[in-house]
Amino acid sequence: MSGFAHRTVLRDEVVRALSPRDGATYADVTLGGGGHAEAILSAANCRLIGLDRDDAAIAASTERLEKFGDRVRITRGPFGDAANLLPSGLDGLVADLGVSSPQLDDASRGMSFRRDASDAPLDMRMDRSTGQTARELIASFGEEQLADVIFELGEERASRRIARSIKRAEEAGQLATTGDLRHAIYQAVGGDKRSGIDPATRTFQALRIAVNDELGELDRLLSALPELLSPNGVAAIISFHSLEDRRVKRAFADGATWAPLAKKPIEASPEEIVENPRARSAKLRAARRKSATEAEVDPRAAKYAARRARKHGSGPDRGQGGPS
């Protein structure tokens, strides 16, 4: 395999949630290195449609999944556009949110605040063919708006001081690289590690989430899910940020559409966390799309189905066909 070194998080737990069946069709909308996709395709004689918006991930997963031949179809694109990129009638779907280790580790992507990545341009886009870079985004924000983003998406309490320092560096023409950004953050809050994490961590995370519109993408995926899955199809979503997990939890709480497989999110075992510290903050939530029969007996579901039928001109169980 190519040098795409990403450790798959909660792999067995995702497979258990989806329970792949022969002849069924699944989607992995965050292919990355293809770890979850490979596990699903190995568990049954099923088909899988893969999606990612990152060229390097598409290349790595294409290589890794080649052995499954025409059981796999890979498409490049954002999962926020899943309603257009995927067929309906899926038996299951997995989304493993956030970034892959190679995206963080490849200094040229501009997502890393590590000292050896100091000369990387301030980019941070997962899809480098579209959208604003982190540098352009910062330029488009006023100081207050930048502080709000750093506070909300990074949960950074020193957001105002940091935003002021970043804007000052920008005005002085000293904000071109990840090293410049890190320097501006250290100027505001010092360079000492607070509670074991680098002081630049939260600001880098906030900007990455904003650059890639990660929460907007998730919202669009969550609202498309009921149309994409067939009745009894399962959605399994791994999040790494409380703002993501809250959205998934809220979506699956719609009892007219979803039957969550468990009340609490599934977390990584201590053994997995030792092997892969990134798994520490992972939360997997899985839910089954309720069937039409359940919808009939559940008055809330009937109301929801009627609302959807009015909106889309069809019932909730349209389009059972898998991929061609």
Ligand X SMILES: C[S@@+](CC[C@H](N)C(=O)[O-])C[C@H]1O[C@@H](n2cnc3c(N)ncnc32)[C@H](O)[C@@H]1O
Which residues here bind ligand X, judged by CB under 6 A? 6, 8, 30, 32-36, 51-54, 57, 78-80, 96, 98-100, 126, 217
For residues 219 and 243, give the distance between their C-alpha atoms in angstroms, rounded to a whole number: 11
Instruction: Kindly state the smallest distance separating residue 99's Cβ from ligand X, in Å.
Output: 6
Instruction: Kindly state the smallest distance separating residue 235's Cβ from ligand X, in Å.
Output: 15
Cα–Cα separations (whole angstroms), residue 48 to 37, 77, 89, 97, 172: 7, 16, 12, 18, 50
Instruction: Please identify, using beta-carbon distances, which residue of 48 and 188 lies nearer to ligand X.
Output: 48
Instruction: Kindly state the smallest distance separating residue 56's Cβ from ligand X, in Å.
Output: 8
Instruction: Kindly state the smallest distance separating residue 41's Cβ from ligand X, in Å.
Output: 12
Instruction: Please identify, using beta-carbon distances, which residue of 240 and 304 lies nearer to ligand X.
Output: 240
Instruction: Kindly state the smallest distance separating residue 283's Cβ from ligand X, in Å.
Output: 13
Instruction: Please identify, using beta-carbon distances, which residue of 99 and 266 lies nearer to ligand X.
Output: 99
Instruction: Please identify, using beta-carbon distances, which residue of 78 and 226 lies nearer to ligand X.
Output: 78
State which H helix or E strand residue 99 sits in.
Answer: none
- Other C-beta atoms closer than 10 Å to the C-beta of 76 total 16
Instruction: Please identify, using beta-carbon distances, which residue of 34 and 154 lies nearer to ligand X.
Output: 34
User: What are the tokens at 259?
Assistant: 């039957």
For residues 288 and 17, give the distance between their C-alpha atoms in angstroms, rounded to a whole number: 9
Instruction: Please identify, using beta-carbon distances, which residue of 51 and 162 lies nearer to ligand X.
Output: 51
- 200: DSSP letter: T
CA geometry: angle 233, 50, 85, nearest 5 deg: 80
Which residue bears the tokens 């995206």?
Answer: 103
For residues 51 and 73, give the distance between their C-alpha atoms in angstroms, rounded to a whole number: 9
Instruction: Kindly state the smallest distance separating residue 39's Cβ from ligand X, in Å.
Output: 8
Q: Check if the beta carbon of residue 67 is closer than 8 Å to that of residue 206.
A: no
For residues 56 and 38, give the distance between their C-alpha atoms in angstroms, rounded to a whole number: 17
